[in-house]
Amino acid sequence: MDKSRREREIRRYETILESLDDAVYAVRPDGTIAYVNDRYAEMKGASREELIGSQIYDWVTEEAAAKVTQVRRETEASDRDAGSVEYEFLTADGERFPVEIRFTRFGDDNGEDGEPLDRVGVIRDVSERKRREEALRRKNERLEEFASIVSHDLRNPLNVATGWLDLAREECDSEHLDHVTRAHERMNSLIDDLLTLARDGEGIDETDRVPLRELVEACREGVEFVEPCREGVDTADATLRVDTDRVVRADRSRLRQMIENIVRNSVEHGGAGVTITVGDVDGGFFVADDGHGIPATDRENVFETGYSTTDDGTGFGLAIVESVAAAHGWEVRVTDSADGGARLEFTGVDVLD
């Protein structure tokens, strides 16, 4: 009965191991392979019969063997049973791709039929993750270069033009100069939004506990952030209503920037007397207004950079909103508010209270 029960247990564990999408292996103290699952054989490009009984290091590169050996030594020296390392996996055909291995030492435990095992490991193909990391690295490099161009190559000529405009005003009084002033102001707004978009495209390293009520009321009353939501847009007649007591984990300054842009967008499109409401949704919060709303046909485009339905809009406000949400790992979608205006819902938020 004990033997039958043990055999059933073994078959059950083997079924579990075979169902994994990761490669699993077990090695004896002499370095020979005692077990591999089908996924390991598939990744290696060899049969299980070829692998079992062979030396584990016969199937890896010298660099990979050195890496794994070093981590094993460090693990044993620190009396830890588990370790992990990334290296290039070598197939039977000589192809290579990045993997992450996590292994555990067996100690004095025995394998099947009393056969001693030294360690077991799980290997995961991380090619897709590496591609995403490389794409993100290239994107951040382009953003840094772009921000440098914007802040220097565009701002400096604009400052020179503004200086010449001031001199021109001393010599003559013309309504044409007012048009030049407004053009300069618009260019400054575009540069500011471009720099914000470039900055908010970067990842977030640190987050804080941020009470939404406190943040939104600070935007309205100027208690904590010196009226950040009023800066650059007339919200004197706008109403901000807070229907949430949630605390979220976020980058405080970027969340402030996001709320500011939503308020500015609501006022620009809904009028100075618009009412803006912040409330709860499952897994996050929403910001809604009672303005004119966003037509369903435009909702796929509103987050695109440069997209605007007004002549004086920069077209970066909601692009910045989406960028901040994405940096937090949040999802954002546009829908109708209860009052017929626009409603932005943020989900996937780390809600603390």
Residue 14 has pLDDT above 70, yes or no: no
More confident residue, 183 or 232: 183
pLDDT tens digits, residue range 239-264? 888 899 999 999 887 888 788 778 87
CB atoms under 10 Å from CB of 12, counted, come to 10
Mean pLDDT of 62-91: 87
Residue 55 has pLDDT above 50, yes or no: yes
Residue 1 has pLDDT above 60, yes or no: no
Tokens 């339905």, residue located: 309
Alpha-helical runs (H) found in the chain: 2-19, 38-44, 48-51, 62-77, 127-148, 155-171, 175-200, 212-221, 252-270, 317-328
Give the pLDDT score at 200.
57
Q: Which of 82-91, 159-168, 230-239, 299-308 has the lowest mean pLDDT?
A: 230-239
Residue 96 has pLDDT above 90, yes or no: yes
Tokens 């099947």, residue located: 112
CB atoms under 10 Å from CB of 91, counted, come to 14
Give the whole-angstrom CA distance, residue 345 versus residue 321: 11
User: Three-class SS of residue 224?
Assistant: coil
The proportion of the chain whose per-residue pLDDT surpasses 70, expressed as a percent, equals 76
Closest-CA residue to 286 (of 258, 328, 257): 258
Residue 194 has pLDDT above 90, yes or no: no
Give the whole-angstrom CA distance, residue 227 versus residue 236: 11
**DSSP one-letter string for 45-104:** TS-HHHHTTSBGGGGS-HHHHHHHHHHHHHHHHTT-SEEEEEEEEE-TTS-EEEEEEEEE
Residue 229 has pLDDT above 60, yes or no: no
Give the pLDDT score at 50.
92
Place 220 in a pLDDT band, splitting at 50, 70 and 90. Answer: low
Q: For all residues of the chain together, what is the average pLDDT? A: 79
Q: Strand order in 275-281's β-sheet?
A: 239-243, 275-281, 284-289, 342-347, 331-336
What φ, ψ does residue 221 adopt, rounded to 5°? -105, -10
Give the whole-angstrom CA distance, residue 21 versus residue 80: 26
Give the pLDDT score at 224.
32
CB atoms under 10 Å from CB of 57, counted, come to 14
Residue 223 has pLDDT above 50, yes or no: no
Which tokens hold the place of 292?
Answer: 């004119």
User: Three-class SS of residue 150?
Assistant: helix
CB atoms under 10 Å from CB of 276, counted, come to 29
More confident residue, 343 or 192: 343
Residues 6+ apart with CB under 8 A from 147: 194, 195, 198, 199
- Please work out, in degrees rounded to the nearest 5, the angle formed at the alpha carbon of residue 277 by the alpha carbons of 276 and 281: 145
Mean pLDDT of 206-210: 88
User: Three-class SS of residue 235?
Assistant: coil
Beta bridge partners of residue 185, listed in sequence order: none
Give the pLDDT score at 230.
39
Give the pLDDT score at 197.
63
